[in-house]
Structure 1
Amino acid sequence: MGSLRVRFGLLIGSAAALVMLAAGGLYWALTATERTLDSTLEAQVRLELIAELSGRLTEYGLAAVEAVGENPSRPERLANARDEVDRALNAVDEGLNRTIAQSDAIVDRTQYAARSRPLARLRAARVMLDRQVAQIQREPDTGKRTDAIRGALNAFGAVTGPPLTFLVEAERRGVETASAQARALALRLRIIALAVAVLAVAMLVLVHRTLTRPLLRRIEDIRAGATAIGRGELDTRLPVATHDELGLLVASFNRMAARLKRREGRVAAARAALEETVAQATAELRAANSRLEEIDRSRRRFFADVSHELRTPLTVILGECDLAARSPDTPESFRPVIATIRKRALRLHRRVGDMLRIARSESGQIELERRPVSLVSVLSEAVENCASEAKRRRIALDFHPSEADIEIQADPEWLRQVVEGLIDNALRHAAGATRVWVALRARRDGAEVTVADDGPGFPPDAETLFERFRRGGTSSPAQGFGIGLALARWVVERHDGTIRLGSGGPEERGARVTLVLPAEAREDAA
């Protein structure tokens, strides 16, 4: 009895035995009740059949009187009444035989067998009356026939009365006996149910006192100990009172608490060492971050200073070229050279301006100078500036303008720089591309600019290319002078437009970058 398994096994066995006992008692009670009800119903049915037999005999007597009368109206009535009497006799006889066959008690079978003799008398009385009626019908004198049929009916009543009375009385006693048995059975069932209920309550009380309550108390102790451990009271220990499964569980609980206590000490030491290491690493990272921020500020300042320093001599060169071109003393042979110098200096001047704008955008400073801009002019200039790089890479660069020029409110330098950056990205990243083109299409609310190529297209995660410091393909930061997609989206959104990436159709290949620019800027878009 020291194991919980044995205890629970005994408990389950006892419960199963109690359930089997209750099921057996219920089965016996249902069988006895069903037998008693069947006996009562059969007795009631036999009473009804005997009552019907009595009525059929009466009708047969009336039919016999009518058959021997002076003017019988329906001769077939006697034959029908005779058939009905025989049918009623057979029904009562079959009921008695069925009851005798189903009864297991010898006494019942004897009693039911004794009731077959009155039926035989009734059947003999019917045959005798039938013969008498046949004889009386042959008598020619009406008065004699009346006296004869009266005597025959009196004799018929004297013969059939005692058997019918005996049968009715026997069936009535059978109904009373069945009712008494039903009441006795109900009383026994109540006593048995009460005894079973008392036994079940006593068994439950015994199980609760000997098994359930001690188990619940020990489980509550374990729960309280676990709660204390959860609060951090790792010195909690539980007494081991028994050597059953719960005792083993309590012993394991105590060992777990001891291990947690030792591990807490090691974790505390490791946490202190880790905090010291983290503090030291944090200080080093802060120092390194400060140095990187200073280097980044120096780089941006150097970039801006160089841009400013380059713009001054370029401005002087452009001014001298303009003066030389307008001077009448300049030989005609020098004018093409001066025009070429001015063109290259102007392009370099724009590149320096691009460098200065990018340097300012990296520090969060971006300023738009909006004014009416011809998109055909801006896109043509962007394509022309990238033509030399496309020729060097042996890639065809085309521009497909719209049928009519489109004018929008935009910053032409930033817009040109965005388109140049997209063309430069297509030239550098579209491996195996043979053609890059820029297309302009008019929209009802503005314009749509597309930069496309016939290369491999964008990767599946193309939207991540809009993130800062994200690169696609095998580009090198030293190649080209383009603008990143993150900055391009920033500039386009400042123009109240949208930028999206896509690919060619089912039968086409390549990458598509589409800019949608509104015709007029919103008032709050600064």
Structure 2
Amino acid sequence: MQTLKARFALLVGGAALVVVLAAGALLAALHASEVALERSLAAQARLDLLTELSGRLSDYGLASIDAVNAPALGRGRIAAARAEVERALQTVDERIGREAAGAATPLERNEMATRSRPVARLRAALSLLDRQVDAALQREESAARTDAVRGALNGFGAITGPALSFLVEAERRAVDAASAEARALTNRLRLGAVAAALAAFGALLVLHRAATRPVLRHLDAIREAASAIGRGELETRLPRQGRDELGLLVAGFNRMAGRLSRRERRVAADRAALEETIAARTADLRAANARLEDIDQARRRFFTDVSHELRTPLTVILGECDIALRTLPPGDTALRAGLLAIRKRAQGLHRRVEDMLRVARSEAGQLELDLRPVSLLPILSEAVEGFASLARSRGVALAFEPAPADVEVRGDPEWLRQIVEGLIDNALRHAAGATRINVALATLGSTARISVTDDGAGFPAEGAALFERFARAGGYGPAGFGIGLALARWVTERHEGAVGLETGPDGRGARVVLDLPMEGRERAA
């Protein structure tokens, strides 16, 4: 039985033979085309040189006629024209000599020799014309000079005209012959290409029927069997068709189908067991989820209760500190400093408790915003003034950049002030290395933009996660409750606005941006 390797070797060898024959024929045709093209180009080049020589001779004759009236001035023009004629004649002579030396056949060398003789006659006639023109220009009378020059030119034309005509006609015939040869070669190549294409097609067709059709027929059977296996018909088998590569492939296919059939039965049994396990685990997950929901509700209640329980003692502590500070003797600076420290820490803790309570209420849907038209300028000014002393104590320059005109939005003034204070407080506490915090108010179309920018270390890579409740990025400033940005986002979204984190304008630091719709934007639109 012939193997697939032998069949494919026959196919590849036949195709390679066809390619080699086609390449040989193509190379021969290209060589013949190159020879015909070179002949045509050489003849055209010689014809161009003869045309240039004829033009130079005409210039020489015109210069000679112009010199009749002014021989002293005309001799320079004659000399220049004579040099151009000599250069053109030398070029023609050298071209004919090179092509005669490089001729491949005696016939071509003979043709070049026939062109050399008229060129020699042109050179001799030109020398004679030079002497005649020089002698004519030496005459004293203008009429005599004119007649002598014209006679010399007429004699030169009578001598050189037939020679030039012969050369031009010879080159034209050479161009026509080369063109005719190229056309004939093109026709032969066209016929040869058609014949070669037909022969190659016939050879490839024979090779296809002998080598590839049986293989393709077996492959189609394998493809159909594989499709049946894909549809789940795992009992499909192929008949053994020999001991070649295809026979081995069929045997392997049948073994694969048998293993798949046995594996399907095992998988069905395992799937039934897995479904029972999944059902049991699903019941466990539902129970665990219910327990987690109870724990979350308990956590929320605990969070709210703790916040309420902490507010009262903190309020008492702050009140007692204020009373003690008002009644403290003026000279007791140490006790005043201690009370001030206690009051400052208590105020910070009180703000955190209030924030915790607000988040808990917002999560439970218990907060109601008092939305009304408010001006942002006094709100931001109050927030900046409230942190001015704290910023100075920490060596941070806190600045406020208002908009050119006041901006009015529809919102809750207390909540807006608190979230701006929270952002300033976050910048003071968390912006490591910050020396400046800038609070700015600007307008973008119908949107009011509040930005809090610092020149600190910037937000970490997980900055977007800081909007989640109790989120604290590792290494980003001192520890906190992680609810400032979460509260800012919650309040901003209830004002139909948006909050975002950006990098500072100089590529470092951090910026928190609050965008709020301006009051009356529908009327303005």
TM-score by length of 2: 0.52
5 Å-filtered alignment, 1:486-525, equals 500=470
Name the CA distance, whole Å, in 2 between partners of 1:28 and 1:76. 55
Name the CA distance, whole Å, in 2 between partners of 1:237 and 1:490. 68
Query: Please, which of 422, 437, 441 is the counterpart of residue 349 of structure 2?
Result: 441
Query: Please, which of 291, 296, 318 is the counterpart of residue 403 of structure 1?
Result: 318
| Structure 1 residue 89, shift from structure 2 partner | 1.0
Partner amino acid, structure 1, of 2:166: F
Secondary structure in structure 2 of the residue aligned to 1:240: coil
Q: Deviations over 1:244-303 (max 9, x none)?
A: 2111110111223334445566777x669x86x998x999x99xx9xxx9xxxxxxxxxx
Compare CA radii of gyration and give the structure with the larger one. 1
Secondary structure in structure 2 of the residue aligned to 1:243: coil
Name the CA distance, whole Å, in 1 between partners of 2:307 and 2:250. 86
Partner amino acid, structure 2, of 1:110: N
Name the CA distance, whole Å, in 2 between partners of 1:143 and 1:508. 118
Q: Deviations over 1:133-154 (max 9, x none)?
A: 3444556687876665565444
Greater Cα offset, 131-140 or 93-102: 131-140
| Structure 1 residue 182, shift from structure 2 partner | 0.8
Secondary structure in structure 2 of the residue aligned to 1:441: helix
| Structure 1 residue 119, shift from structure 2 partner | 0.6
5 Å-filtered alignment, 1:141-152, equals 152=152
5 Å-filtered alignment, 1:285-364, equals none
Task: Sort the Cα spacing of 1:447 and 1:73 in 2 relative to 1 into closer, same or farther, 3 A.
Answer: closer
Secondary structure in structure 2 of the residue aligned to 1:104: coil
| Structure 1 residue 514, shift from structure 2 partner | 8.8
Name the CA distance, whole Å, in 1 between partners of 2:17 and 2:266. 56
Q: Is the 8 A contact 2:4 2:245 kept in 1?
A: yes
Name the CA distance, whole Å, in 2 between partners of 1:375 and 1:155. 133
Aligned length: 351
Name the CA distance, whole Å, in 2 between partners of 1:79 and 1:50. 21
Q: Is the 8 A contact 1:53 1:89 kept in 2?
A: yes
5 Å-filtered alignment, 1:364-375, equals 375=308
Please name the residue that 2:326 is paired with: none
Task: Sort the Cα spacing of 1:439 and 1:202 in 2 relative to 1 into closer, same or farther, 3 A.
Answer: farther
Q: Is the 8 A contact 2:318 2:347 kept in 1?
A: no
Name the CA distance, whole Å, in 1 between partners of 2:24 and 2:107. 27
Partner amino acid, structure 1, of 2:125: A
5 Å-filtered alignment, 1:7-406, equals 7-64=7-64, 74-137=74-137, 152-261=152-261, 375=308, 403-404=318-319
Task: Sort the Cα spacing of 1:512 and 1:29 in 2 relative to 1 into closer, same or farther, 3 A.
Answer: same
Please name the residue that 1:463 is paired with: none
Secondary structure in structure 1 of the residue aligned to 2:110: helix
Task: Sort the Cα spacing of 1:58 and 1:244 in 2 relative to 1 into closer, same or farther, 3 A.
Answer: same
CA-atom RMSD in angstroms:
5.2
Q: Is the 8 A contact 1:401 1:440 kept in 2?
A: no
| Structure 1 residue 174, shift from structure 2 partner | 0.6
Name the CA distance, whole Å, in 1 between partners of 2:472 and 2:300. 29
Name the CA distance, whole Å, in 2 between partners of 1:513 and 1:501. 5
Q: Is the 8 A contact 1:229 1:236 kept in 2?
A: yes
Name the CA distance, whole Å, in 1 between partners of 2:161 and 2:82. 18
Please name the residue that 2:411 is paired with: none
Secondary structure in structure 2 of the residue aligned to 1:403: helix
Partner amino acid, structure 1, of 2:129: L
Q: Deviations over 1:345-386 (max 9, x none)?
A: xxxxxxxxxxxxx9xx79x999989x9999457887xxxxxx
Task: Sort the Cα spacing of 1:77 and 1:449 in 2 relative to 1 into closer, same or farther, 3 A.
Answer: closer
Q: Deviations over 1:207-257 (max 9, x none)?
A: 432333332322221122223334443432211223221111101112233
Secondary structure in structure 2 of the residue aligned to 1:167: helix
Identity of aligned residues (%): 46
Structure 2, unaligned stretches of length 5 or more? 321-344, 368-467, 488-525
Partner amino acid, structure 2, of 1:244: D
Task: Sort the Cα spacing of 1:133 and 1:241 in 2 relative to 1 into closer, same or farther, 3 A.
Answer: same
Structure 1, unaligned stretches of length 5 or more? 294-357, 381-398, 406-436, 451-488, 518-526
Name the CA distance, whole Å, in 2 between partners of 1:448 and 1:228. 67
Greater Cα offset, 489-498 or 37-46: 489-498
Partner amino acid, structure 1, of 2:107: V
| Structure 1 residue 175, shift from structure 2 partner | 0.8
Q: Is the 8 A contact 1:500 1:513 kept in 2?
A: yes
Partner amino acid, structure 1, of 2:354: A
Secondary structure in structure 2 of the residue aligned to 1:238: coil
Task: Sort the Cα spacing of 1:26 and 1:282 in 2 relative to 1 into closer, same or farther, 3 A.
Answer: closer
| Structure 1 residue 118, shift from structure 2 partner | 0.8
Secondary structure in structure 1 of the residue aligned to 2:350: strand
Name the CA distance, whole Å, in 1 between partners of 2:181 and 2:42. 15
Q: Deviations over 1:407-429 (max 9, x none)?
A: xxxxxxxxxxxxxxxxxxxxxxx
Please name the residue that 1:485 is paired with: none
Partner amino acid, structure 1, of 2:81: A
